[in-house]
Amino acid sequence: MAEEAKKLAGYAAVDNHVQNNQVVGVGSGSTIVYAVDRLAERVRQEKLNIVCVPTSFQARQLILQHGLTLSDLDRHPELDVAIDGADEVDAALTLIKGGGSLSPAHRGCLTQEKIVAGCAKHFIVIADFRKDSSVLGQQWKKGVPIEVIPMAYVPVSRTIAKRFGGEAVLRMAVSKAGPVVTDNSNFILDWKFEHAQNWKEVNTAIKMIPGVVETGLFVGMAERVYFGMEDGSVRVRDPPVI
């Protein structure tokens, strides 16, 4: 059921937002796999000229395996559109990213994902119905991922708990001993917050703690979210008009 929903979201995003001669940011996770399948299909069928910029090692492999054109931010610092998954989306389109529902290899790419999304004119999110929340923490219980410089993980964890409550736990690997190491050779703390907060302020404050590389809070970045639903429909959410 969830897999079909991921596919619906991925296909809708590619069909509605990708056009010929575009540079496309490719996100990470299990949902993005469906979007890349559809992108490759359209490139073949419609003979599109598309260049892809990956957000992780996994995304890079996906692009290559599908025979798509691989690039990077050196050659393409401006993207037309970036498409990526999320762990949770609230009513204001604030996202938690960097968690991942698949294997550890597909998790913790939040820093590169945020960089690529920030370089895109349009940032489009794809998710299944389980990620849809009115407030963060409603559906996603694993906390906000925070990428940290390895030597700083203890002081950063203590500072976050002291200032914002909850606890920030070092993410451990599953198929190896020791912590998960990101594509940037850093560690991930999962901050299990106690209650909803002003995410814009919290995100800025956490980023100011020495040793923090990036947070998995994406505030004011997503332009549209496609949710694949259980009944086979696709729900679209745009940011609220303030």
113 is catalytic: yes
> What is the smallest separation between the CB atom of 28 and ligand 5RP, expressed in angstroms?
4
> What is the smallest separation between the CB atom of 48 and ligand 5RP, expressed in angstroms?
24
Options 41, 78, 88, 113, the catalytic residue: 113
> What is the smallest separation between the CB atom of 127 and ligand 5RP, expressed in angstroms?
7
The smaller minimum CB distance to ligand 5RP, of residues 112 and 159, is found at 112
Distance of CA 207 to the CA centre of its chain: 17
In the bound state, the residue with its beta carbon closest to ligand 5RP is: 29
Beta bridge partners of 172: 179
Residues 6+ apart with CB under 8 A from 13: 35, 83, 124, 125, 126, 226
Where do contacts with ligand 5RP occur on this chain (CB under 6 A)? 27-31, 84-87, 97-102, 106-110, 113
> What is the smallest separation between the CB atom of 242 and ligand 5RP, expressed in angstroms?
26
The smaller minimum CB distance to ligand 5RP, of residues 10 and 211, is found at 10
For helices 2-17 and 31-46, give the axis angle rounded to 10 degrees.
Answer: 40
Beta bridge partners of 237: 225
Q: Is the Cβ–Cβ distance between 55 and 61 less than 8 Å?
A: no
Q: Tell whether the torsion through CA atoms of 134, 135, 136 and 138 is positive or negative.
A: negative
The smaller minimum CB distance to ligand 5RP, of residues 32 and 159, is found at 32
The smaller minimum CB distance to ligand 5RP, of residues 60 and 159, is found at 60
Q: Is the Cβ–Cβ distance between 127 and 9 less than 8 Å?
A: yes
Which residues are annotated as catalytic?
Answer: 113
